[in-house]
Amino acid sequence: MNGLAKVAVAGLGLGATSVGYRTVTTLADNKKGSLTNRADCAAEKIKNDANATLKLAVPAGVVAGVAAAKPGLLTKMGQAGVKYLRKGATALGKLFKNPTNAVTKAIANALNAIKRAPKKYGKIGLTIAAAAYVLSAITKHARNDGKIDQKYNDTGAIENATKNLVLNA
What is the distance in angstroms between the CA of the first residue and the CA of the last residue of the chain? 69
Give yes or no for residue 78 having a pLDDT over 90.
no
- Single pTM value for the model: 0.61
Check residue 89 and give its pLDDT. Answer: 63
Q: What is the DSSP string of the chain?
A: --HHHHHHHHHHHHHHHHHHHHHHHHHH-GGG-SHHHHHHHHHHHHHHHHHHHHHHHHHHHHHHHHHHH-HHHHHHHHHHHHHHHHHHHHHHHHHTSS--SHHHHHHHHHHHHHHH-HHHHHHHHHHHHHHHHHHHHHHHHHHHHHHHHHHHHHHHHHHHHHTT-----
Do the Cβ atoms of 153 and 41 come closer than 8 Å? no
Of 62-71, 94-103, 140-149, which gets the smallest average pLDDT?
94-103
- Dist CA 108 CA 97 (whole Å): 8
Percent of the chain whose predicted confidence (pLDDT) is above 90: 8
Confidence of residue 144 (pLDDT cuts 50, 70, 90): very high
pLDDT top residue among 34 and 122: 34
Q: Rg of the chain's alpha carbons, rounded to an integer? A: 25
Residues in the chain: 169
Tens digit of each residue's pLDDT (9 = 90 or more) over 79-96: 676 667 667 666 666 666
pLDDT tens, residue by residue, 34-49: 888 888 998 999 898 8
Average pLDDT over residues 122-132: 72
